[in-house]
Amino acid sequence: MTNENTALNTKINSGRLNSHEDLNALRQQIIDKHDPTKLEVLVCHGTGCIANGSMEVSETFKKICETSGIDVKIKPNIKTTGCQGFCSRGPLVLINPQGIFYQRVKPKDVEEIIQKTIINNEPVERLLYKDPKTGEPIKTENEIPFYNLQERIVLHNIGKIDPTDINDKIAAGGYQALAKALTTMTPKDVVTEITKSGLRGRGGAGFPTGRKWQGALKAVDKKGGPVYVVVNGDEGDPGAFMDCAIMEGDPHAVLEGLILGAYALGSNNGYLYIRAEYPLAVKHLEMAMAQARELGLLGENILNSGFSFDARINRGAGAFVCGESTALFTSIEGKAGTPRPKYVRSVEEGLWGRPTVLNNVETWANVPLIIDKGADWYSKLGVLNNTGTKVFCLVGKVNNVGLVEVPMGTPLSKIVEDIGGGVPNGKPFKAVQTGGPSGGCIPYKLKDLAVDFDSLTKAGAMMGSGAMIVMDDRDCVVDVALYFLRFLEEESCGKCIPCRLGLSRMKEILDTFSHGKGSEKDIDDLISLAKAIQDGALCALGTSAPNPCLTTIKFFKEEYLAHINEQRCPAGVCKDLITYSIDPDACTGCGSCARHCPQNCISGEKKKVHVIDTQNCIRCGICMDTCKFDAVQVN
């Protein structure tokens, strides 16, 4: 980054590190240079905040600080960070050391922040987060329920450090776990520690990481090296962005985890498979790898320990199926990304037919924490057989959209209602879709369900990568099931028949429901076909594809029946089954709906009640969105 850090870095960088002591000395050097009383402005440069204009905000901070002639002593250090998590409130600005949290900051607000907070140490009240219940402004990040109800371990550094600067990471304790492992632990110790921690794969299925690593070691014993370690950063679930946030905000955590894994398994080559749609993640990881190489933390003879390991980035070309392990390997090998049958596990025969350990971004990011703080510490987090924390992306009809990290086993209601702040219209949520298109729909009545691998699977959903899409009473379950099926049909590789033809046919049946047609026998057929796909498809994309449809039928059958038997969509979504009308008591005749109607089918005189011509209405719902008086109703 082009702030003062860079100038500082050039002075600090000491060249290659040759021991744990060298690393500690560098760390001390960085910490000593840092004045803890000096103000720090942390501007969130997560993808969401950037889209909301946070780059202009940080630029304005820099410009004003440079030109306004602020006293050098109080001139703040301006730092751009990864995703701070509270995405619905972006752009976010955090002022340290006080921890003052500003939300929805616009470039024009910067001057006031500098004047009041930086120079006079008083908060700008209108930019503070307000408690939705009391309306009272909350000054610091730690007092905001969205943050203080979380347990941020993997996300600990994200939003606090500059991801493009390795020194910032080293000051925060980065690469300590690696140095510890290389100097005091044998590779076997590392595997034992990971196994003891109970860490399970964060990519979705929750396979115990330690067991996976042991499996690979056994395979290496049998057929010899080489063995590969691979990061799965091909996150593609609609609504999921936790891997993106980790790679963008703390790339060194992923890298350190990967190097530790490589050390444990005796691997000298690794791959980071990242989807090309995450250009910032690719950029930050490339920078991280270059900086780590320069310091001797990656490459030949790491920290002079005799252990060499290097990795390269492979960018995925946008196929969802390439998040599936065998399709990912096929893609890295340079072939079309289609899965291959995996009756021989990838720890035995993975990339290039060699033993391979593929773990998700979040899993790798957990590894340094476990090595640093110990398996005992880690296994105390979460619940039995589901240890540690999980990062979720809370999206959909929820007040606090953002990145959330909680211990495994946290009740769903705590995540959605306490941390997420509930549904905007104040009613209870209708359902939560966990695990993206492969997961399931959990209804409100299961709100006390513990969110962990086993409980979710038991409820017919799955952890998946961690997307949580919250739905309210205006979301139709038939429409939701259709949405995910459409997505998966688009993303099917087409190799096996149950997935290629089956998903289209499921969609065809569901589509008849959304038109108010079909019969109860069709629901039975749909379930039977869905089970055939679950049993018959070649890879996990296909076998898990029917989950949203099956869980919505299981928990919301009455809504399906309303479509079929009464030609009624209770949520008012399925276009063929609804009509819009204007409530004459609520309409003020402002004319906004008529102006916005693309069909010009709303008429009425100024300040008089308007009427919708239902014959010409295409039920787009724009009138409803535009009406400020809630006068447009859906029947």
> Which residues bind to another protein, rule: CB under 8 A?
319, 336, 338, 341, 343-344, 489-498, 500-502, 504-505, 508, 525, 528-529, 531-533, 535-538
Q: Nearer Cβ to another protein, position 529 or 594?
A: 529
CB of 218 to another protein, least distance (A): 17
Q: What is the number of residues in the chain? A: 635
Shortest spacing between CB 224 and another protein, in angstroms: 20
Min. distance of Cβ 527 from another protein in angstroms?
Answer: 11
547 vs 241, 393, 464, 513, CA distance in Å?
21, 19, 11, 18
Smaller CB separation from another protein, 157 or 438: 438
Whether the upstream peptide bond of residue 411 has omega within 30° of 0, thus cis, is no
24/512 with CB nearer another protein:
512
Tokens 């001057």: give the residue: 111
Long-range CB contacts (within 8 A, 24+) of 285-294: 285/247, 285/251, 285/254, 285/255, 285/313, 286/313, 287/164, 287/251, 288/163, 288/166, 288/251, 288/252, 288/255, 289/255, 289/313, 291/165, 291/166, 292/166, 292/175, 292/252, 292/255, 294/13, 294/15, 294/16
Q: Quick one: 153 or 319, whose CB is closer to another protein? A: 319
142 versus 504: smaller Cβ distance to another protein: 504
Token pair listed for 196? 């003891």
In what side-by-side order are the strands of the sheet with 40-44? 77-81, 40-44, 93-96, 100-102
Which residue lies nearer to another protein by CB, 210 or 502?
502
Q: Which is nearer to another protein, 23 or 347 (CB)?
A: 347
Q: Distance (Å, rounded) from C-alpha 533 to C-alpha 88?
A: 37
CB 546 within 8 A of CB 534: yes
Q: What's the closest the beta carbon of residue 313 comes to another protein, in angstroms?
A: 24
Strand 386-387 relative to strand 389-396, pairing: unpaired
- The residue (of 88 and 514) whose beta carbon lies closer to another protein is 514
Tell me whether residue 188 or residue 531 sits nearer to another protein (CB atom).
Answer: 531
CB of 272 to another protein, least distance (A): 24
Least Å from the CB of residue 460 to another protein: 18
Supply the minimum distance, in Å, between the C-beta of residue 566 and another protein. 24
Task: State the helix-helix crossing angle for 209-223 and 187-197, rounded to 10 degrees.
Answer: 150
DSSP class of residue 200 equals B
What whole-number distance in Å separates Cα of residue 85 and Cα of residue 95?
16
Least separation in angstroms between CB 565 and another protein: 20
> Could you count the other beta carbons within 10 Å of the beta carbon of residue 540?
20
Q: Residue 211 and residue 209: Cα distance in Å, rounded?
A: 5
Nearer to another protein (CB atom), residue 175 or residue 320:
320
* Nearer to another protein among residue 439 and residue 502 (C-beta): 502
Question: Shortest distance, CB of residue 501 to another protein, whole angstroms?
Answer: 4
Q: Alpha-carbon distance 97 to 93, whole Å?
A: 13
**What is the closest distance, in whole angstroms, from the C-beta atom of residue 106 to another protein in the complex?**
43
Looking at this protein, which amino acid is placed at residue 532?
A
404 is written with which tokens? 């959330």
3-class DSSP assignment, residue 526:
helix
C-beta of 443 vs 542, nearer to another protein: 542
Distance, in Å, from the CA atom of 152 to the CA atom of 142, rounded to the nearest integer, reads 12
Least separation in angstroms between CB 329 and another protein? 16
Q: State the minimum distance, in angstroms, from the CB of residue 359 to another protein.
A: 24
567 φ/ψ angles, rounded to the nearest 5 degrees = 50, 45
